[in-house]
């Protein structure tokens, strides 16, 4: 039995993008064994005598994929062509030109150049439109996000020429691709004079450093209490979740432990070196919060360190190790389960090979009323645990919140639902910010959040924009609540077009019921 202290940085375990990955990457020789097993024999016989010609490599890929899917919902096979894309978000970087973009009318619109990246260095600006790449016109050619990635990403040091449309003029740029950071902390800001907010979208290799920097900034601004938002965070590195948990806990508090087939493998404890040991904390979770997110929520809840608010988390308590093949492919095999400090395994039940039913369980929660009522959360009495201060918690499927907040089903005008489904508010604000970019920038972020308002003229412009897309927007029928919803959505998207998430979240939080409930705590 190992007892590991969480020194900064805590020794990282290898990870999985859609959950927790623990261990090393192993390389396997794909040559046929000298003593073929049934699979090798069958595959060789099919290749020799089957009535039609076959692709042996393709059959092998399919067989490996189906074999792993039969084990559990999280063991998986990753083809060589997909491995880089799967790993990039967890590694915290990719090679490219460094822009945030949106596709608008089949054209690449630069939302913002990434700070310090190649695009910013050569002078590409928000609002620029990429018309040509290496001399080839790309606008109006049926672009997709994937095709944009293929055009603009590439090995560090390789060059790409872009034709940029700005103020009705084409400007040519030549860039050298470089490492571009992928941030896992979406935003951090002070909600009021004492309350900070941090949202983490995944637990990657850079999350702990990002979280420390965000926390330090907010503490310097006077933060005494923190809202930590882990909604829809699918997980990631075990070490990142341990390090983040350690920031809140006093000395020698268990954070998590793992068990393999032979028993307890590792235990992880806090070391009283966290920046936030004295900071009050509320953690927001929902049905999309999984694995590493659940480790943090479980460590906070089981140590009576803070309040968990929202809805029951996903329920992933399985740990995978990644094995990489010489052909560039990889597979991830579940090797351990992890447990919260009170001893809860929060992995929800599954039947081997029934992955579709497992994935549909979130939909089942909606249909059985769990997302609307705390009384519908399943409780298994035999999996009852007690925290040090006497709070009752349960294992058997996710982290249940201390304070339940139902999914927002407040009715507002059907037209608002329709324009959101079609992405028309987003598309409208692209054009709006493009025309008013300099005016908005001159206002400044703080003044924009505090003072900017959507006027009647803008709503009528949105109505006309929607009409061109054959979608009505009956603003004359809106009540005060409808107007609050659509005006807030418009303002948040306009702010995002200039200041990214630094503007979006402080605005949209005004109509976020779960956030508002957390703020009251």
- Tell me the pLDDT tens digit for each residue of 420-435: 888 899 889 988 988 8
The domain boundary residue, chosen from 359, 377, 404: 404
Q: Which of 181, 206, 232 is the last residue of a domain?
A: 181
22: in domain = no
pLDDT digits (tens, 9 = 90+) for 209-261: 999 999 999 999 999 999 999 999 999 999 999 999 999 999 999 999 999 98
> Last residue of a domain, which of 404, 439, 465?
404
Instruction: Tell whether 399 and 430 lie within a shared domain.
Output: no
- Active-site hit among 291, 293, 313, 329: 291
**Annotated catalytic residue: which of 316, 415, 463, 501?**
316
CA distance 507 to 86: 32
**Alpha-carbon dihedral of residues 240, 517, 363, 473, nearest 10 degrees?**
-120
Strands 20-21 and 307-310: unpaired
How many domains would you assign to the chain?
Answer: 3
- Mean pLDDT, residues 332-342: 94
Residues 306 and 384 in one domain: yes
Which backbone phi and psi does 98 adopt, to 5 degrees? 85, 60
Domain annotation covers residue 143: yes
| End-to-end CA separation in angstroms for the chain | 39
Q: Which domain CATH number covers 102?
A: 2.30.42.10
Identify whether 316 is a catalytic site residue: yes
My answer on whether 478 and 440 are in the same domain is yes
Q: Is residue 289 in a domain?
A: yes
Residues 485 and 465 reside in one and the same domain: yes
Residue 141 forms part of a structural domain: yes
Residues 175 and 209 in one domain: no
Query: Average pLDDT of 318-322?
Result: 90
25 vs 331: CA distance, rounded Å = 10
Rounded Cα distance, 76 and 320, in Å: 9
CB 119 within 8 A of CB 58: no
311 and 450 in one domain?
no
Asked if 512 and 458 sit in the same domain, the reply is yes
Residue 188 is a catalytic residue: no
Single out the catalytic residue among 302, 415, 427, 501.
302
Q: State whether 221 and 343 are in the same domain.
A: yes
In whole angstroms, give the CA distance from residue 184 to residue 233. Answer: 10
- Same domain? For 326 and 448 the reply is no
CA distance 365 to 354: 18
In a domain, 66, yes or no: no
pLDDT band at 4 (very low <50, low <70, confident <90, very high): low
**Domain shared by 123 and 208, yes or no:** no
Residue 25: pLDDT above 80? no
Q: What is the dihedral of CA 451, 500, 313, 242, to 10 degrees?
A: -120
Same-domain status, 446 and 375: no
Cα gap 131→138, rounded to integer Å: 6
Range of the domain at 103: 93-181
Residues 175 and 245 in one domain: no
State how far the Cα of 293 lies from the Cα of 315, in Å rounded to an integer: 10
Q: Is residue 78 part of a domain?
A: no
Mark whether 76 is an active-site residue: no
């Amino acid at each position: 039995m190992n007892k590991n202290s969480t020194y900064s940085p805590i020794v990282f375990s290898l990870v999985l993008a859609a959950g927790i990955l623990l261990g090393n990457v192993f390389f396997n020789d794909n040559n046929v064994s000298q003593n073929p097993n049934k699979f090798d024999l069958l595959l060789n016989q099919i290749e020799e005598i089957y009535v039609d010609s076959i692709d042996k490599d393709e059959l092998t890929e399919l067989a490996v994929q189906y074999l792993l899917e039969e084990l559990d919902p999280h063991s998986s096979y990753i083809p060589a062509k997909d491995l880089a894309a799967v790993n990039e978000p967890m590694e915290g970087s990719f090679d490219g030109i460094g822009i945030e973009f949106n596709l608008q009318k089949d054209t690449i619109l630069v939302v913002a150049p990434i700070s310090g990246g190649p695009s910013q260095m050569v002078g590409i600006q928000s609002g620029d439109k990429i018309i040509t790449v290496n001399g080839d016109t790309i606008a109006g050619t049926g672009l997709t996000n994937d095709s944009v990635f293929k055009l603009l990403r590439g090995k560090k040091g390789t060059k790409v020429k872009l034709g940029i449309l700005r103020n009705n003029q084409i400007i040519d740029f030549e860039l050298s691709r470089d490492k571009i950071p992928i941030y896992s902390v979406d935003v951090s800001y002070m909600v009021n004079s004492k309350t900070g907010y941090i949202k983490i979208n995944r637990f990657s290799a850079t999350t702990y450093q990002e979280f420390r920097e965000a926390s330090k900034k907010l503490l310097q601004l006077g933060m005494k209490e923190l809202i930590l938002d882990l909604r829809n965070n699918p997980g990631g590195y075990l070490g990142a979740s341990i390090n983040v948990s350690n920031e809140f806990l006093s000395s020698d508090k268990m954070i998590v432990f793992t068990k393999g087939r032979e028993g307890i493998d590792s235990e992880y404890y806090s070391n009283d070196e966290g920046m936030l040991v004295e900071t009050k904390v509320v953690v927001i979770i929902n049905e999309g919060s999984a694995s590493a997110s659940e480790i943090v929520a479980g460590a906070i809840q089981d140590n009576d360190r803070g309040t968990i608010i929202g809805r029951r988390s996903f329920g992933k308590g399985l740990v995978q190790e990644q094995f990489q093949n010489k052909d560039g492919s990889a597979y991830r095999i579940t090797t351990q389960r992890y447990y919260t400090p009170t001893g809860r395994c929060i992995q929800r039940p599954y039947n081997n090979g029934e992955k579709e039913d497992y994935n549909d369980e979130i939909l089942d929660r909606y249909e059985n009323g769990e997302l609307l009522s705390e009384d519908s959360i399943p409780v298994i009495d035999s999996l009852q645990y007690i925290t040090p201060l006497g709070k009752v918690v349960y294992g058997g499927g996710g982290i249940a919140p201390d304070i339940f907040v139902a999914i927002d089903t407040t009715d507002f005008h059907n037209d608002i639902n329709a324009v959101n489904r079609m992405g028309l508010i987003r598309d409208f604000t692209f054009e709006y910010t493009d025309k008013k970019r300099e005016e908005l920038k001159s206002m400044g972020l703080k003044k924009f959040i505090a003072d900017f308002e959507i006027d009647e003229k803008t709503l009528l412009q949105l109505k006309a924009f929607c009409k061109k897309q054959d979608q009505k927007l009956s603003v004359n029928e809106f009540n005060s609540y409808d107007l609050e919803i659509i005006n807030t959505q418009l303002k948040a998207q306009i702010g995002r077009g200039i200041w990214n998430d630094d503007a979006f979240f402080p605005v949209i939080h005004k109509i976020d019921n779960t956030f508002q409930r957390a703020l009251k705590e």
